[in-house]
Amino acid sequence: MAKLTRRGFVATALAASAIRTLPLAGAKLGGRRILTLAYDKSLGMMRAVERWVP
C-alpha cells in the first residue's frame, strides 16, 4: 500500500468529491469533456485531469 502524505490525502479527497459533483454540473452545462492523464510528482503516480470545452 502506498504511503499517503497530507498533500496526497487532500488531493485524493478532492478528486473523489469532484467525481461526484462534476458529472451533475456537466449535464446541465453541455459541452465536451476532455480527459487527459498526467503524472503527478507529489502523488508519484498518474492521475486523470478533466477539462470542459464548450
Give tens-digit pLDDT for 1-49.
567 788 888 888 888 877 776 666 556 666 788 888 888 888 888 888 8
Widest pairwise Cα distance in the chain: 39
Q: In the prediction, which pLDDT does 25 show?
A: 58
Domain extent listing, the chain = 6-52
Q: Does the reported pTM lie above 0.85? A: no
Please give the full DSSP string across 13-41, using - where no structure is assigned.
HHHHHHHHHHHHHHHHH-SEEEEEEEEET
